Structure 1
């Protein structure tokens, strides 16, 4: 939906004086009454004013949402906590399309001990509502729970058979089948009484709850007593139980001091999605890991994302006393009170971790989240149905005559105006074709749009040629194609300036049948050359995901090439210094770890390197100072 020049004032916008300056929850809805977005605010008037700024100043997707809406309503509440509770309730009830969506918010497997039964049973279950049951986990995979059970029942032989098998065994006096093969240690195996079995179950639960090594110490003492009494068979059984417990402890590494009860959330996000890793730490050990992926429709702050993640994580289970997150939400105190109500006893503390053991666990969780996000993207790209849907959506959204089976994406990268390079990556049928990737060194300009135009001229000059060169004369080798066949879509990394530069280049070359679009990072807007406003693809659409994947791959390929050239340049500079051979050059780079650190080092620091004296160090500093360095951070993208 494109706004008209006079659309900066929405006809349904309430007057500022009508909106209370009090805490509350607001909801945008469309003409059919569908709730589009639910949010909360400490001050409704201030918060809603953000949505009614001039449309051009709004984030593109926020503008899309307010243009789709036909009214906004609000409900005033008494406190921040009440606002949080009401927002949570409405999001669950209405599932607004512009709120955060939890794509993989599935139930996770738990190790369950049915303490409410006559003879408690250990099993795997996703059901969190078994009366009287004790839960341990969650576990990332079912096999992880089964592996733990296999180890634990060697140490604590308790019931594993089904309720029907148990009843049949107790009625007939014949052991249940798992008991016959040594896989069930309940009363149904007729090796222990109900009372003896209950005692073993309590030991099982106590160990799972604490992973206390004192249990092993007691068993070691019991094994020694059995051995001293010449009860070698019983001693051997106890030895096996000790080994099983040692195996369990090895698989549950100590990461924090004993008695630490904390959940640690690692979050990795991009413009479209976020991956969450929840590490459940009990007794200082990681007892469970839970992961899911979040689809983001609006561009929300990191604190808002954390808030949504915690609301989902503790929807059906109580939180621990302490929760470590990457960033604190703005209304962290209200969220702590809401979490305390979910817990039912004591306070809940939200914290960030900058140093120490908890920071190390947070770093590990974040690393896992980063890998999970990459895996999510890879799997989604590999899905044939999703790829077909993405190409069809692109054809419809961009008005193409046919689906773009071959797409070429271009990106420009440089370091502060030096080492300007560009990349071309190719996707065919929605998958990367790395053999067709090309890289370009750009000379004579540091302007992004001119660099892009130069690269496109070099590529498109061969568009209608045979595009083949012989790799040998008369030697029978196959001809090699430079660029293969014509693309169905050209994509440039950037917004309006970049896509317009690409369109001008096509016009100069007399090419009128190649569609070109740009995808702007951060807002993920899709720009066409002659349009005043971008095409807005739904955040969860396969088409936008594919465009993002192509753009990111082009950026990665360009940056890799740019860094290679930079390393080659510094190698050339060092090789030109008298008295500094290959061995000393390598020692310099190894000592400082990076080109940036070497350039920043003074004479004294360089003179400390093995084989480098004060005089040579002065020469190195002077030579590096006279060579182009680029300056700052500046791996800039077009």
Structure 2
């Protein structure tokens, strides 16, 4: 072990926080959190204490240890979640075959940004809205948005077709044809800003704008144009009302809403099953495969899974039932409570459940 690394291990604080192992090129190999950094980090460099084959290879590749001290273990969980997403370290627990939830993506760094359906959320230069629980409703939302905001529906970072003429979407007023220069970059960007504003929950500005245009067109006796603005306004109002209704319904359904999590680990792999109960009825079953779990305790595996699963889930159940040997789940409960915006009880399964 290099003397620099030895000095870093000796200087570790006995406080909660996050640790990052880096190789000689500065790449992050592993990110972890600890209630007390000193014993946790040192344990990796004590021979024979870790049964995981891949983790046994880790210390010999570590050249630098970086620690970030936090106020408490919950803050460390939040930080660990963000760092794992950013670096995707090769030695961390990896979730495979996960249920991916739908998002609405706005490619803000494109010259003429797109607004589209996606199930990924890792690209830079993209603003994501969601996750949403229902893919069909996401597509319905996009259909309404495109009728109100004529952004380009074509694929690719640049608009248009090779023919160089506007497509059908221009003629049915679903696009302003930036491909042939019928709209300036500034005016098109203003449309995208309105989309982002609407998806962020600010629906009043576009409703006032459509109402004003409808009345102006009617006053000028452009009745067909006024009817189009009226229809767009009704679509926006319906969409805004549906979003409010869905939030209220979610609050009502919280009674009797439980996620039951089962876990089985063998060697370097594990399987997790999530059984969502709503109003006392099991409505589905989600199965997940995890890699790089050998040598990890159940608490660490469970925390790693919950950080990734509930970090992208559209909602968090008010009660989460975990395996009986899950250990101390106080930090996880507080993390999920912050994620939900209300108290979440994380409790061990009782015999017979």
Equivalent position of 1:274 in the other structure: 270
Equivalent position of 2:336 in the other structure: 339
In structure 2, list runs of 5 or more residues that go unmatched. 104-116, 122-126, 150-171, 174-213, 215-222
3-state secondary structure, aligned to 2:259 = strand
Equivalent position of 1:295 in the other structure: 291
Aligned positions of 1:447-458 closer than 5 A? none
Decide whether the 8 Å contact of 1:108 with 1:290 is kept in 2.
Answer: no
Equivalent position of 2:302 in the other structure: 306
Distance (Å, rounded) in 2 between the aligned partners of 1:161 and 1:37: 42
Equivalent position of 1:576 in the other structure: none
Equivalent position of 2:67 in the other structure: 74
Aligned positions of 1:43-122 closer than 5 A? 43-53=36-46, 55-56=47-48, 58-59=50-51, 60-105=53-98, 107-108=100-101
Distance (Å, rounded) in 2 between the aligned partners of 1:266 and 1:29: 33
Cα-to-partner distance string for 1:194-248 (whole Å, 9 max, x where unaligned): 59x959x86x967x948x9xxxxxxxxxxxxxxxxxxxxxxxxxxxxxxxxxxxx
Distance (Å, rounded) in 2 between the aligned partners of 1:347 and 1:291: 26
Q: Does 1:262 align with 2:255?
A: no
Q: Which has the higher contact order (CA 8 A, sep 6+)?
A: 2
Decide whether the 8 Å contact of 1:328 with 1:350 is kept in 2.
Answer: no
Aligned positions of 1:327-366 closer than 5 A? 327=324, 329-344=326-341, 346-355=342-351, 359=353
Aligned positions of 1:365-376 closer than 5 A? none
TM-score with structure 2 length normalisation? 0.57
Cα-to-partner distance string for 1:251-296 (whole Å, 9 max, x where unaligned): xxxxxx9930222223333323323332333333344544432222
Number of residue equivalences: 260
Given the superposition, is the C-alpha separation of residues 284 and 96 from structure 1 closer, same or farther in structure 2, using an over 3 Å criterion? same
Equivalent position of 2:197 in the other structure: none
3-state secondary structure, aligned to 1:36 = strand
Equivalent position of 1:621 in the other structure: none
Aligned positions of 1:141-540 closer than 5 A? 209=249, 259-296=255-292, 298-316=294-312, 317-327=314-324, 329-344=326-341, 346-355=342-351, 359=353
Given the superposition, is the C-alpha separation of residues 160 and 284 from structure 1 closer, same or farther in structure 2, using an over 3 Å criterion? farther
Q: CA deviation at 1:125?
A: 7.8
Distance (Å, rounded) in 2 between the aligned partners of 1:299 and 1:287: 33
Distance (Å, rounded) in 1 between the aligned partners of 2:31 and 2:146: 48
Q: Which has the larger radius of gyration?
A: 1
Distance (Å, rounded) in 2 between the aligned partners of 1:69 and 1:271: 23
Distance (Å, rounded) in 2 between the aligned partners of 1:72 and 1:324: 35
Distance (Å, rounded) in 2 between the aligned partners of 1:18 and 1:35: 20
Given the superposition, is the C-alpha separation of residues 172 and 126 from structure 1 closer, same or farther in structure 2, using an over 3 Å criterion? farther
Decide whether the 8 Å contact of 1:273 with 1:295 is kept in 2.
Answer: yes
Distance (Å, rounded) in 1 between the aligned partners of 2:277 and 2:289: 21
Equivalent position of 2:158 in the other structure: none
Given the superposition, is the C-alpha separation of residues 166 and 287 from structure 1 closer, same or farther in structure 2, using an over 3 Å criterion? farther
Distance (Å, rounded) in 2 between the aligned partners of 1:294 and 1:95: 14
Q: Does 1:31 align with 2:31?
A: no
In structure 1, list runs of 5 or more residues that go unmatched. 1-8, 111-123, 150-157, 174-186, 213-256, 360-638
Q: CA deviation at 1:101?
A: 1.2
Given the superposition, is the C-alpha separation of residues 295 and 172 from structure 1 closer, same or farther in structure 2, using an over 3 Å criterion? farther
Decide whether the 8 Å contact of 1:23 with 1:41 is kept in 2.
Answer: yes
Given the superposition, is the C-alpha separation of residues 162 and 16 from structure 1 closer, same or farther in structure 2, using an over 3 Å criterion? closer
3-state secondary structure, aligned to 1:39 = strand
